[in-house]
Amino acid sequence: MSSRSTRITAALIAVMAGAGAIVAAPLLATGGGPSAPHTDHHHPPDGNPVVQPGQANPGEVVGVGATLQPPDGSGDRGAQGPAGPMGAPPAPGTQGYRGYGRGRQFRVTCEFVKSGMFDPIVFPGTEMVGHTHQFFGNTSIAPDSTTASLVAANTNGTATSCDRTADGAAYWVPTLQADGTNLTPDQATISYRAPRGVRRVRAFPAGLTMIAGDKTATTQQTHAGYRCEFDAPGAALQASPPTCSADEDIIGVVTFPTCWDGKNLSSSDQSHVIYAVAGARCPTDHPIPVPELRMETYWPSDGQAHTFTLSSGSTAGLHADFMNGWDQATLNRLVRHWARR
């Protein structure tokens, strides 16, 4: 994420004419390109300590610091320290374990790439249609992007804003606005989790696309909402961004479906993927359990109350899109190591 000083400059300071008082003006977008490399001062996305998968005491913190190389050797930007053997986790207590995963999951942090009024899933090849989106991950994203073009662009790991360079996927959300002004996001953190109660999870197949959340919603959704960065773990999501303090971000959370029909890589009505009933297996018409992809978008806060909207309408209509541009062999290994047992 960008440095604290960079975040503070996102909140413009205006002097009230004739009063001499200083007030915080609406947060404004500061540019269309990726932000500077971040220094990870955030809590883990779920607000919980990071622990080694399979560890006997799931509440034990096993290390903090910069992110290590993943076991497949794909590489994380800013990595420090040696990677574990192929397919094996780093040694418990190794400095730099933060961000590597908690329980049966792994995470990816992606810097903001750009804004644009296009959506290659809903309106492929068309620009200036629909509403504006804020994109993360693959830097080649364009109206005519396909999953194949994303993979090709990131063959050498140079077309991604993510800290795992093998992640050439594209992720996007509608633009968040405060008092009608676009906010520039700091970053997005994406968790790939094993659905609760599921033993064997299959990696997203090459070519898969998904959309989660209902852009037409006007009340709180089950799988999308907002919280403040430093809220207590398990805090309920809200239909509109809460007023967060100036030293924390507003986080928009969208959780994607976890059951795939095993046949279709996309569908106009998103019927190729569905949410599993809590505690239940995937149904026979969508029999393949896939990772629970949870996207958390970080927008800056100035500690002031604002009227928030999305470029798509009501803030309750938060939604997110995913195009699988991963190096597929790397994704398969990560899911096999972190999300299966």
Q: Give residue-wise pLDDT tens across range 88-125.
A: 333 333 222 233 334 689 999 999 999 999 999 999 99
| pLDDT for residue 54 | 35
Residue 35 confidence (pLDDT): 40
pLDDT at 20 over 70: no
User: Among 127, 136, 128, which residue's Cα sits nearest to residue 173?
Assistant: 136
Report the percent of the chain where pLDDT is more than 70.
69
Distance of CA 258 to the CA centre of its chain: 16
Query: What distance, in Å, lies between the first and last C-alpha atoms of the chain?
Result: 32
Q: With 50 as the cut, is the pLDDT of residue 246 above it?
A: yes
338: confidence class by pLDDT, cuts 50, 70, 90: confident
Average model confidence (pLDDT) for the chain?
Answer: 77
Is the pLDDT reported for residue 165 higher than 80?
Answer: yes
Tell me the mean pLDDT in the region 10-24. Answer: 33
Q: Which of 37-51, 289-303, 310-324 has the lowest mean pLDDT?
A: 37-51
Kindly indicate the confidence band of residue 34, based on its pLDDT and cuts at 50, 70 and 90. very low
Q: Of 63 and 330, which is predicted with more confidence?
A: 330
- pLDDT exceeds 60 at position 307: yes
* CA–CA distance, 26 with 306 (Å, rounded to integer): 8
Domain ranges of the chain: 1-48+102-341
Residue partners of 38: CB distance under 8 A and separation at least 6: 1, 2, 3, 109, 111, 186, 187
Residue 136 clears pLDDT 60, i.e. is over it? yes
Least confident of 2-6, 50-54, 216-220: 50-54
In this prediction, residues 191-199 reach a mean pLDDT of 86
For 238, residues 6+ apart whose C-beta sits below 8 A from its C-beta are 220, 225, 226, 227
